[in-house]
Amino acid sequence: MRILYQLLVVLFMMFHSAAGQHFSPTSTHLCVAQQGRCFPSICRRPYYWIGTCNNGFSCCKRYVEV
């Protein structure tokens, strides 16, 4: 009976935490949302580094000259 009680508590905690989770987009989508591109190496000219993509690539954005 004690094991059943512990399993119910764990199940309740899993449902409780899953209900509060929000959708978070992947790093690649965040990179694209910032008008960036994912490169397998470091960012070279005319790009500069703005973050990391979910596959470990560098998220780079093109310089904009005004």
Predicted local distance difference test score (pLDDT) of residue 57: 92
Predicted local distance difference test score (pLDDT) of residue 11: 63
- Residues in a beta bridge with 47: 62
According to CATH, the topology of domain 25-65 is Antimicrobial Peptide, Beta-defensin 2; Chain A (3.10.360)
From first to last of the 66 residues of the chain, give the pLDDT tens digit.
678 767 666 666 666 655 555 545 555 688 988 999 999 999 999 999 999 988 889 999 999 887
Rg (CA), the chain: 21
For residues 9 and 30, give the distance between their C-alpha atoms in angstroms, rounded to a whole number. 36
For residues 59 and 61, give the distance between their C-alpha atoms in angstroms, rounded to a whole number. 7
pTM score above 0.75: no
